[in-house]
Copies of this chain bind each other. A is one copy, B any other.
Amino acid sequence: MRLTKYFLPVAKEVPAEAKIASHRLMLRAGMIKQASAGIYSWLPLGFRVLKKIETIVEEEQVKAGHIPMLMPTIQPAELWKESGRYEDYGKEMLRIRDRQERDLLYGPTNEEQITDIFRAHISSYKELPKTLFHIQWKFRDEMRPRFGIMRGREFYMKDGYSFDIDKDSAIHSYNRHLVSYLKTYERLGLKAIPMRADTGPIGGDYSHEFLVLAETGESNVFYDRTVAELSLGAEDINYEDPESIQGIVNQFTKYYARTEETHDKKMFEDLNVDLRQAGKGIEVGQIFYFGTKYSKTMNARVNLPDGSKVPVEMGSHGIGVSRLVGAIIEANHDEKGIVWPLSVAPFKIGIVNVKQSDKETSDFCEKLYTAINNMGLEVLYDDREERAGIKFNTMDLIGVPWRITVGPRGVEVGKVELTSRKSSESVEYSLEQVLNRLQSLD
């Protein structure tokens, strides 16, 4: 992409109400524009990042054996009256009346709708287990939307729903989600810790929240530092093997890791003082096994081999896709701007032409730009008639992981400079060398 053909409205000033780094940087980097309170347009650069995160989230769910589909944003009130949540949900639910005076709502979540689909089409134990998921816009009419897309009203979420015949199978579904979420966050370049979460009136041990450590987090977290050092790495995961999946879950959940809601001061203080960590975290996902809460009320039952009927065991599992954009920035930025992990970077490579008016330099840039495009790598070429300093600042601000600087003196001797956004280290290369180097970026 040539910058002059793109739409990248970077800004120096941002509104005073942008209080956290991700909100400020997303506005400055021209990633979003507020449409109204808590509702944002995703400008081209922000949209690229959002799509990359969506793709990784989806791929990992598919690998775990979960089936993609799509439910609509607008739901009928009847379903929520049936489950009993229509009144309970309160003012966070955006309620709508259509021209026929029917009560609708903008879905804040989809337990009712997926249960309705399930009961219409599945009636036998033979068709279980099944996990269906979708990635769709949701709306929660927050009293105080804030922090940009981190606590917006219209937000993009992956929510998956598992259906199992019994508790053992349901726990395997729960575990598959826990592990696939760990894998997802690792691919996004994030360290997210699964923490025992409050299950509310339903009880049970089966809810975990995933928290990214960040000073700007809204949650107080307490954990054994060992858990923050674990990683799946390149480990091959067999989602069809309950025991090995349980093994991974045990490995990641055996250490103390809790949010304020479930914090047990006594247990925490029993830890060796060197291991005790308290801090702030951003919630980026939650998984939940809630058994027959909806299936009983909404009559979603399946036949057993003996002909009897039981309500299906359910769980719901969510990842905040739009919120992740903010969480990744909170965890990856410096005073100059964003530092994208390669996997979600809107462009992997930036070309800075330090003297646009110089024909030889521009010709060289064109050659380089064409070669990188031909390699199938995403590159942003800053071809504006601007000073080099402005171009460097833009690349730093928008967080392009690798910058290639092309100037008249280098071109004379056939050299360019490759600079890492993360380490700021630069290496001089010939055209051939730099193209070679680009084949194995990290």
* A interface with B by C-beta (< 8 Å): 5-7, 9, 30, 33, 35-37, 39-44, 46-48, 50, 65, 67-76, 91-92, 94, 96, 98-100, 102, 104, 106, 113, 116-117, 120-122, 130, 132, 134, 137, 139, 141, 143, 153-154
Separation of A7 and B74 alpha carbons in the complex (Å): 23
* Dominant SS among interface residues on chain A: mixed
Instruction: Kindly identify which residue among B36, B91, B98, B106 contacts A76, using a CB–CB cutoff of 8 Å.
Output: B36
7 CB < 8 A contacts A-B: A33-B120, A35-B76, A41-B71, A41-B113, A42-B71, A43-B69, A98-B141
Separation of A400 and B281 alpha carbons in the complex (Å): 47
Of chain B, the residue at the smallest CB distance from A131 is B7
Separation of A9 and B143 alpha carbons in the complex (Å): 41
Query: Chain B nearest CB: distance from A301 CB in Å?
Result: 16
Query: Chain B nearest CB: distance from A114 CB in Å?
Result: 9
* A35-B113, A36-B104, A120-B33 given; A5·B65 CB < 8 A: yes
Identical copies of this chain, number? 2
Separation of A76 and B154 alpha carbons in the complex (Å): 13
Query: Chain B nearest CB: distance from A292 CB in Å?
Result: 20
Instruction: Kindly identify which residue among B30, B40, B69 contacts A7, using a CB–CB cutoff of 8 Å.
Output: B69
- Asked if A91 contacts B96 (CB within 8 A), the reply is no
Separation of A73 and B141 alpha carbons in the complex (Å): 14
- Using Cβ atoms and an 8 Å threshold, which residues of chain B touch A48? 68
Query: Chain B nearest CB: distance from A382 CB in Å?
Result: 15
- Using Cβ atoms and an 8 Å threshold, which residues of chain B touch A141? 98-99
- Using Cβ atoms and an 8 Å threshold, which residues of chain B touch A120? 9, 33
Of chain B, the residue at the smallest CB distance from A118 is B7
Separation of A106 and B72 alpha carbons in the complex (Å): 13
- Asked if A41 contacts B65 (CB within 8 A), the reply is no
- Asked if A41 contacts B67 (CB within 8 A), the reply is no
Instruction: Kindly identify which residue among B5, B9, B67 contacts A6, using a CB–CB cutoff of 8 Å.
Output: B67
- Asked if B117 contacts A41 (CB within 8 A), the reply is yes
Having A73-B137, A137-B137, one finds 19 other A-B pairs with CB under 8 Å, namely A6-B67, A7-B122, A9-B121, A30-B121, A35-B76, A36-B75, A37-B100, A41-B70, A42-B70, A43-B117, A44-B68, A47-B134, A50-B70, A72-B137, A72-B154, A74-B139, A92-B99, A94-B98, A106-B106
